[in-house]
Chains A and B, each alone.
Chain A
Amino acid sequence: MINFQYARAVSVSEAVRLMAGTPGAKFIAGGTNLVDLMKMDVERPTALIDVSRLPLDTVEETPGGGLHIGALVRNSDLAYHPLVERRYPVLSSALLAGASQQLRNMASIGGNLLQRTRCAYFYDVATPCNKREAGSGCSALGGLNRMNAILGTSDNCIAVHPSDMCVALAALEAKVHVTGTRGERVIAFADFHRLPEAEPQRDNNLAADELVTGIELPQRGFETHYSYLKIRDRSSYAFALVSVAVCLELGGGRIREARLALGGVAHKPWRDAGAEAALSGQSANEATFMRAAALVLSKAKGFGHNTFKIDLARRAVVRALSQAAGGTPQSQSNKKIA
């Protein structure tokens, strides 16, 4: 780990001002990903601006009937928050599917959005990686890419975004509140993270001096018909090979609205408007689910070690839709997939 300056910010404005005036600085909150990346020499910040004591640690109801979640709320606290458990259970479930309780006790909501890919080549500074060093090449394309992306890839990068929480937030159509030196703005969740395209070094659309201050959930939480299904190599404490967040609104035996987001398959939580439209107005049965799943994976591309994920994702979409429609969401403690 290279040496760095350390400063603890006491206000959002001070944090943003320090960041703008300190080239090479990074914000730190929970540190669960950043400290590890610093140990691996992947991240080499000149300074850390500690935002962990800023007053951004509350969950509050919004006038519009939604929730505003401070960026420093811990992952475990949000998973177990009574309003989240009752009104946004897909979010609670996704949070509990991620990491371990120790890490959830440390990790902040804002930091969860900003965690970096776990692509093995991103972590290995001895190998080329366009995300770590722009223009150096992608080692995963022809390498060990079992954990890598099958959708939205580019010739420059096939990394996946590792978050579970963000998959649920994508399905719920959350908004991200940020503050920079030029003021505050609100970013739709779909516009927050990026696909790799020609600039895989950019994970998201934050400006360099912007701090995530909170997440806003809209009123609709899909508390009856939802599921978060995560498929992984171990039944706990492992990153997703494929995960699926489903939120359905049913009426009269038909699907009135469907939200479908996939994790572990792309550089950002993956939504497919065409597949969701194909579910809308249809009977909630396996044939419908299979048609939607086929649409989601129709443009998928495997790279050898990860090609199995295409079939796995197709089946996981069908299973998660069945769980959501049946009102029998995947349990995050009893790992039997029903």
Chain B
Amino acid sequence: MISSDDSDPPAPASGGSAGSVSLAVMVNGTRYPLTLDPRCTLLDVLREQLDLTGTKKGCDHGQCGACTILVDGRRVLACLTLAVMKDGANITTIEGLAKDGVLHPLQQAFIEHDAFQCGYCTPGQICSAVGLIAEGRAQTADEIRESMSGNICRCGAYPNIVAAIQQAMGLP
């Protein structure tokens, strides 16, 4: 009835299931071949199959930003991403930001500015801020706040989060 393109043939359906799909993703520089039920979100694959639990599941409905990761350099929500659609993608999670034991400047800035309390939203906040800086659009505190509005902090650490991002951007 339905077929995939030649480079990515799905396994035939069996056992009443609609079948599984083979793909590979690059996560933090490591290539992972995967065979997945098409229902798997990228968030669940990262956490449950690749043991990368830094990316958090908050609402699981695209409303909180806790699962923010970078796919091909852009900040997106892992909870609303079907993993099978990301064959060949280059993914960066919070675990991939520090290099050779040295924290990413945003990680360091979050510590210096006490930009979290419970820390649950922090991986998403930091990945989102990495994306914000790469986009190069937000320059003022107002613009940072607006551009970070997809990341909810239940503890209310927002002023310190903005300050940390400003420091990492080299803004006064």
Residues on A facing B (Cβ under 8 Å): 1, 3-10, 18, 21-22, 25, 28, 31-32, 35-36, 39-40, 47-50, 52, 76, 80, 99-103, 105-106, 236-237, 332-335
| Min CB gap A79→B, angstroms | 9
Q: Which of B71-108 contact A (CB under 8 A)?
A: 74-77, 80-82, 84-85
In the complex, the answer to whether B8 meets A8 with C-beta atoms within 8 Å is yes
In the complex, the answer to whether B142 meets A4 with C-beta atoms within 8 Å is no
Give the one of A31, A102, A237, A333 with max B CB within 10 A.
A102
| Min CB gap B41→A, angstroms | 7
- Distance of A9 Cα from B85 Cα, bound (Å): 11
Given A7-B3, A18-B2, A332-B146: A102 in contact with B76 (beta carbons within 8 A): yes
Residues from chain A with Cβ under 8 Å of B74 in the complex: 76, 105
Identify A31's interface contact among B18, B81, B151, CB under 8 A. Answer: B81
Q: Which of B1-54 contact A (CB under 8 A)?
A: 1-5, 8, 10, 13, 17-19, 21, 37-39, 41
A-contact bits for B137-167, CB 8 A (1 contact / 0 none): 1101011011101110000000000000000
Beyond A8-B4, A36-B80, A334-B142, 19 extra complex contacts between A and B, CB < 8 Å: A3-B39, A5-B18, A7-B4, A10-B5, A21-B2, A31-B85, A39-B61, A47-B2, A49-B2, A50-B85, A76-B74, A101-B128, A102-B128, A103-B62, A105-B76, A106-B80, A106-B81, A237-B149, A332-B146
Residues from chain A with Cβ under 8 Å of B112 in the complex: none
**Interface of B: prevailing SS:** loop
In the complex, the answer to whether B80 meets A3 with C-beta atoms within 8 Å is no
- Distance of A58 Cα from B21 Cα, bound (Å): 29
Given A3-B18, A4-B18: A333 in contact with B3 (beta carbons within 8 A): no
Q: Which residue of A lies closest to B17 (CB)?
A: A3
Residues from chain B with Cβ under 8 Å of A22 in the complex: 1-2
Residues on B facing A (Cβ under 8 Å): 1-5, 8, 10, 13, 17-19, 21, 37-39, 41, 60-62, 65, 68, 74-77, 80-82, 84-85, 128, 131-132, 135, 137-138, 140, 142-143, 145-147, 149-151
| Min CB gap A232→B, angstroms | 11
Q: Which residue of A lies closest to B5 (CB)?
A: A10
Residues from chain B with Cβ under 8 Å of A8 in the complex: 4-5, 8, 85
Given A22-B1, A28-B85, A105-B75: A5 in contact with B19 (beta carbons within 8 A): yes
In the complex, the answer to whether B150 meets A99 with C-beta atoms within 8 Å is yes
In the complex, the answer to whether A80 meets B137 with C-beta atoms within 8 Å is yes
Identify B4's interface contact among A6, A103, A105, A333, CB under 8 A. Answer: A6
| Min CB gap A93→B, angstroms | 12
